[in-house]
Amino acid sequence: MTLQKTADELLQNAVGSGSIPGVAATATNREGVTYSGAFGKRIQGESAEMTPDTVVWIASMTKALTSTAAMMLVEQGKLSLDGPAKEVLPYLGEVPVLEGFEDDGTPRTRPPQSDITLRQLLTHTAGFSYEIWNADIMRYQEKMGLPGITGCENKALETPLLFDPGTRWEYGINIDWAGKMIEAVSGQKLGDFLQENLFAPLGMSSTAFFITPEMRSRMAKIHQRGEDAALTPVMELEIPQEPEFQMGGGGLYGTIEDYLKFVQLILNDGKVGSTQLLQPQTVDALTTNAMGETKVTVMRATIPPLSNDAEFFPGLSKNWSTAFMINEEQAPTGRSAGSLAWAGLANTYYWIDRSKGVGGVYATQILPFADQYSLPLFLAFEKSVYSFS
């Protein structure tokens, strides 16, 4: 058997069982692509086939791209990793810490004991959260009339901190603020900065906040899994195409083929061909623990249609670089200790193993996150890649 045949069979069987409407996956080593395959339909019940160039909402896979852009500006001396973020965005000096709620539901807050830094935003240790995984943030939004983050309204960013900056890890809107910092010092829209400095050099021609007509012709739709495990296409679910802000934490659409080029950039120490796109010190910051003894914790779901409780490799210690989750021990798939990874809400996933020189990207379009069928399929795909590496 070859990797192509083994992975094809794995993915095809999942689609054939009806548990997954469509899936695309790809893998690479430092030299080039080692696997590419896609099976099923872009939209359940319709004729368009899932292909490796199918456009999907990559959601929080956006974060690593935005974080890399921020580190490029650190490299240039235009952003400080450890200076007060309020020097770039004064509002970040005004965000209070939420301590609780009064009997009438009024939030009770206090000033933070230290300033937010870009490092804390990039490592999710600044104190921000998401309503999807924190009931207090949802309660605050409801009381204060704040919209959810996926509407891309500036008002959505006005949620409080849950703790003093730097004291623990909590997944949240941090990278959206990092995107705002990029815009402030570059004078460009986030999407324009990403296009000029990352997407164009890498040849990521189908990745953008704005879905062009050509991209839309190759687009998959998100499917919602019900309590009976059946899937229904959610035709109207789309990130606003004329947003108040471009969501650096989750607004991009793209393909697995495009994202694999970013994976290859990190595997090859910041090089694209003979061009050194990222300097060695930037690659180091992107690929090593940037939050000390703090650990990544379980994400407890508060909105079941959007997410299940989520944790990668329960029981294994994990930290965060300036862009990625890092598993501190070898994972059961074969992923080396010190490898990099993250995911997107609609069950898109990737990993980068610099020790063994392999990585991969996988995409379905299913809610909730950490789907009972899609996440195990990703891990099985990853394991198959290691069995031939």
Catalytic site residues? 60, 63, 171
Beta-strand ranges (E) seen in 186-293 are 223-225, 231-233, 253-254, 271-272, 275-276
CA distances from 6 to 9, 16, 27, 109, 336 (A): 5, 15, 13, 55, 21
- Determine the residue type at 58: I
Phi-psi region of 81 (alpha: psi -120 to 50; beta: other; left: phi over 0): alpha
Are 362 and 381 contacting, i.e. CB atoms less than 8 angstroms apart?
yes
Are 79 and 177 contacting, i.e. CB atoms less than 8 angstroms apart?
no
**CA pair distance 343, 63, nearest whole angstrom:** 9
**CA pair distance 197, 190, nearest whole angstrom:** 11
**CA pair distance 24, 13, nearest whole angstrom:** 13
Chain CA centroid to CA 375, Å: 15
Give which of 353, 346, 354, 355 is closest to 375, Cα–Cα. Answer: 346
* Helix (H) or strand (E) run with residue 99 in it: strand 97-101
